[in-house]
Structure 1
Amino acid sequence: MKTSPLKSLLLIAAAALLLAPPAAAVEVDDFDSIQLYTLKNRSGMTVSVTNYGAIITSIVVPDRNGKMADVALGYDRVEDYINAVDRPYFGAIVGRYGNRIAKGKFTLDGKTYSLATNNNPNHLHGGNIGFDKVVWDAKPIEGQNAIQLSYLARDKEEGYPGNLQIRVTYTLTDDNAILVDYHATTDQATPVNLTQHTYFNLKGEGEGTILDHELMLNADRYTPVDATAIPTGELPAVAGTPMDFTQPKPIGRDIDQKNQQLEFGRGFDHNWVLNKPDDNKAMTLAARVYEPTSGRVMEVHTTEPGIQFYCGNFLDGRLIGKAGNPYVHRGGFCLETQHYPDSPNQPGFPSTILRPGKTYQTQTSYRFSTR
């Protein structure tokens, strides 16, 4: 492929480490088709993506002094993604329904559907074999610094109704933003809630905890949960609670307060209601994160109404990252743009039902800078 210093580069690599046979357990029928794709822009930022799980495997960005580091948690080998302990969903697209559905059941148009209960009593991130555990079709987009991944989720796959055709496009811009565009159509009514599950550490993956990162969430309300992490249906104000990130504060400042919601999530693992009208599908600032030692900043914009902030409460040092360092407790955070958890069972929440003839279309951007 011809490249020019004046144009962004799309580097395509069938990386040997990502093509080693899997070590155990999970079978992948078309293992030989797994590829690694690397996007690179004019400033030197790179984003690597594999078509297994549509996973972002690395994000390499500069600090305030120009030093590059990989800020996305993950692995060097595909078998580690396939067989990861506790299934952390590093870097993956999750669905058909990202987040939880209570007791693995929902009723749609008078019919009740049963899903896998793979998260204690509830359904999480699409089930036993969600979109993070399948091989997607992938192709570079001609003339763009982008990779398009597609997958057909068939009727009754993981219990969901309808043949759902999904397309996710990752684009790397020259101003250091990753654009994630989601597109889906269906032949039967079905719930859809896709999200991107990268864990970030702006100091660099494996470089300790994220408790000193300063976070702002553009959200005056959130969705409190019960002891099984299912929303209660209420939308209370964050003001006066540890859930208030309307002004930037270190993630660790309030995380150990005696608070029932923090106890239920073992820390922050909740959906925040973004400050926008329910029917507003314009891109909106959702979050901003600043890491003081490196100076790295990440801003998240989205068309979605909510964002799940999770701070690695279940990481415990057993998982070893790309630099050989253990991923310690609270060693990464996720900012998953989404509709609210359990929306198919919550009539007061914005609908997640996609019907034939309609198109599911959302966009999220992760933009990196320094200060």
Structure 2
Amino acid sequence: MKKVSLITGAVLALTLLASPAQAATDLPNSHRFFEEMTYLQNKGVISGFEDGTLRPDKTVSRAEAAIMIGKLKGLDGTQRDAGFKDVPKSLKASGYIAAAAKAGYVSGYENGTFKPDAPITRGDMAIILSRVFPLYMPGLEDFKDVSPNMKAYESIGYVVSGNVAAGYPDNTFKPSNATTRAQFSAFLSRGVEPKFQNDTHMKGSFLRDKTKTYLFKNAEGKYEIYSYVKPDSEFADIENFVWKRIYENEFSYYTEHESSKFHLSGFAGSDSYIDLVYPIKKGATFTGFQDSSVYEITNVGVTVKTAYKTFTNAVEVTLKADPKKNIEGHKYYMVEGHGHVKTVSLDGKVLSELFSVE
């Protein structure tokens, strides 16, 4: 487990303040991605058209995507030769295309073209965003319409596991579908603002609210604090948001992921463990991924009392004791939207419990 002194490690706090932009005539509050588009508009990443519209449901082109990425990343958009046969200097997006290509965010085709007016598909989007927002956890979800021989296969896995994009309820990703301006805005927003990542959680998710700070108290009366942050620059291998655990004046980075098959967590740069398997069913057993210990879902719909509050819909999981492996065993409780909330020994001693959520 990586640990760093709090004196030498700094928390990168994300505080994004912006003045409100003029409301677009075609972006009602009821639009699914109203908040995301307004957020990027306030940051100057996306702008409207001369007629006062944002055209949220218009397909985003490769040139428009380069402009949005360039503005978000602070690239130089001065119009210039972009190095592509079909991108003249006079093109509004030429500077951003040149800068984004140099940064490695976008690329052209073998024939030397960029195809600035071509639409961005969801597969293209995944490739681009996996470069713009380098992510920690590889794909955990198996989509029916995404195969390992696809160019976007790994990128789709990364953006989904990183809560930048999500699949559909029918377990598809629809990689060939065009991406709209609103959808692309949502993906970009999730890369820089945790509250939008919450929108990618599946129905009944056990992932925690990424805008909250979770405080736990252990059997020794000591506290652990979990907050969702970008890690210190010292950890170049962890560039996306992760949970930061502070305990006894030291911190480590903790990851939490979910697919339609399981909930997984672990310390970044260390082992990961399966906490829960789906569908949730009493009696279901599983091993902990990189852990060969045996776990069993021993109860569902459990009422469990913690220092924070009493939950009435917890799932009880039991780690079976194994003397040969020196495993004493314990029980832990998982709750939708909170993940772990309590751990007790097999004889009932509280080992850790949720103390507060702020």
Q: Which TM-score applies when normalising by structure 1?
A: 0.30
Flag the structure with more relative contact order, 1 or 2, with Cα contacts below 8 A and sequence separation at least 6: 1
By percentage of residues, which structure has more helix? 2
Q: Which TM-score applies when normalising by structure 2?
A: 0.30
